[in-house]
């Protein structure tokens, strides 16, 4: 069997498959279904400084080959995540976990990251400057190079663990933003978050989602994600975590050829809760099919 191991910002993963934030809770929910230690790691639910109820309902709209969500970063706040969620996670997951962090001010990001940085089980801080369905924060930091760099510098000043900045595809120049984050000290880049989408109810003539617009995800955005991963990986000298519409072992290989060191799986978890486990198990056969002996050898290997 070929080697599935990859190294993400200095931490070894047994395989590159990572359930994406917001689709895998805090892990223990899925641990009731299978041994989640089969995964490389996972990115837990987006965490903010203070508790958030999230956006009003309805929050979900179905689409062809995807979905739109506007959950709005619902979470109990960093203090409760540390006190209540991480102990439950630790009981069922015995690897470093990726902590996903969001904020509404630079100080929020720094505060939350400083708290999570002290937690032994947190391996990486995935800093989300790209959420498209909250007002007054999130994506607003990820659409300008200067703002993304400011968040990066603030987080790096209070942390010792690898910081991976999660970027938005809802921009005209993803490369300049990624390079600004790298220059500000980011240890990795994570992309893409959801695209901005909208659906309308033909009977009521009103938006289906109460928030009007939300994050569009699913297989339909995969080609956009591959393109952006390719562009950013060519431009920066730090690892890239690719995501966006990934739903098979073949998709993982394609993302890695584009330049991803590891690959996150998002919306597919909501369709099939076993999808990440199945992708990990399918990878050896797909590697053999395409003559791949070591996944590290194909990172950025598109010709």
Domain CATH for 109 = 3.20.20.70
Instruction: Please report the pLDDT score of residue 73 as a whole number.
Output: 86
For the chain, how many structural domains are there in total?
A: 1
Show which residues are catalytic. Answer: 131
303 is a domain residue: no
Instruction: Please report the pLDDT score of residue 187 as a whole number.
Output: 98
User: Within the chain, which residues score under 50 in pLDDT?
Assistant: 132-138
N- to C-terminal Cα distance for the chain?
25
Domain that holds residue 15: 6-298
Going by C-alpha positions, the residue among 203, 287, 301 that lies closest to residue 5 is: 287
Contact status, residue 49 vs residue 77, Cβ threshold 8 Å: yes
149 is a domain residue: yes
127 three-class SS: strand
78 is a domain residue: yes
237 is a domain residue: yes
Q: How many CB atoms lie within 10 A of CB 206?
A: 11
Instruction: Please report the pLDDT score of residue 72 as a whole number.
Output: 85
Backbone phi and psi for residue 34, each to the nearest 5 degrees, phi listed first: -160, 170
In angstroms, rounded to a whole number, what is the distance separating the alpha carbons of residues 124 and 2?
26
In angstroms, rounded to a whole number, what is the distance separating the alpha carbons of residues 115 and 138?
19
In angstroms, rounded to a whole number, what is the distance separating the alpha carbons of residues 294 and 4?
6
Q: The whole model's pTM is what?
A: 0.95
In angstroms, rounded to a whole number, what is the distance separating the alpha carbons of residues 23 and 45?
7
pLDDT in tens, 118-139: 999 999 999 999 754 444 444 5
1 is a domain residue: no
76 is a domain residue: yes
Instruction: Please report the pLDDT score of residue 132 as a whole number.
Output: 47
C-alpha distance from residue 112 to each of 8, 41, 151, 280 (Å)? 22, 21, 12, 31
Instruction: Please report the pLDDT score of residue 204 as a whole number.
Output: 97
Contact status, residue 265 vs residue 243, Cβ threshold 8 Å: yes
């Amino acid at each position: 069997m070929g080697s599935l191991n990859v190294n993400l910002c200095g931490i070894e993963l047994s395989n590159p498959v990572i359930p994406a934030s917001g689709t895998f809770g805090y892990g223990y929910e899925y641990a009731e279904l299978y041994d989640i230690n089969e995964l490389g790691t996972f990115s837990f639910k987006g965490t903010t400084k203070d508790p958030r109820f999230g956006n009003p309902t309805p929050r979900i709209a179905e689409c062809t080959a995807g979905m739109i969500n506007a959950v709005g970063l619902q979470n109990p706040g960093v203090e409760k995540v540390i006190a209540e969620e991480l102990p439950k996670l630790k009981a069922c997951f015995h690897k470093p976990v990726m902590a996903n962090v969001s904020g509404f001010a630079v100080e929020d990001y720094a505060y939350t990251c400083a708290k999570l940085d002290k937690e032994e089980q947190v391996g990486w801080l995935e800093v989300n400057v790209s959420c498209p369905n909250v007002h007054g924060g999130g994506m607003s930091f990820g659409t300008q190079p200067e703002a993304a760099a400011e968040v990066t510098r603030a987080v790096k000043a209070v942390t010792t663990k690898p910081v991976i900045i999660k970027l938005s595809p809802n921009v005209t120049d993803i490369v300049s933003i990624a390079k600004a984050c790298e220059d500000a000290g980011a240890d990795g880049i994570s992309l893409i978050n959801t695209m901005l989408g909208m659906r309308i109810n033909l009977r009521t003539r009103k938006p289906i989602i109460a928030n009007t617009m939300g994050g569009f995800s699913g297989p339909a955005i995969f080609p956009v994600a591959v393109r952006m991963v390719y562009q950013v990986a060519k431009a920066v000298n730090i690892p890239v975590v690719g995501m966006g519409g990934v739903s098979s072992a073949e998709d993982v290989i394609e993302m890695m050829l584009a330049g991803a060191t590891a690959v996150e799986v998002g919306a597919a978890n909501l369709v099939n809760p076993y999808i990440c486990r199945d992708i990990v198990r399918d990878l050896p056969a797909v590697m053999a099919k395409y003559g791949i002996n070591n996944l590290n050898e194909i990172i950025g290997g598109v010709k």
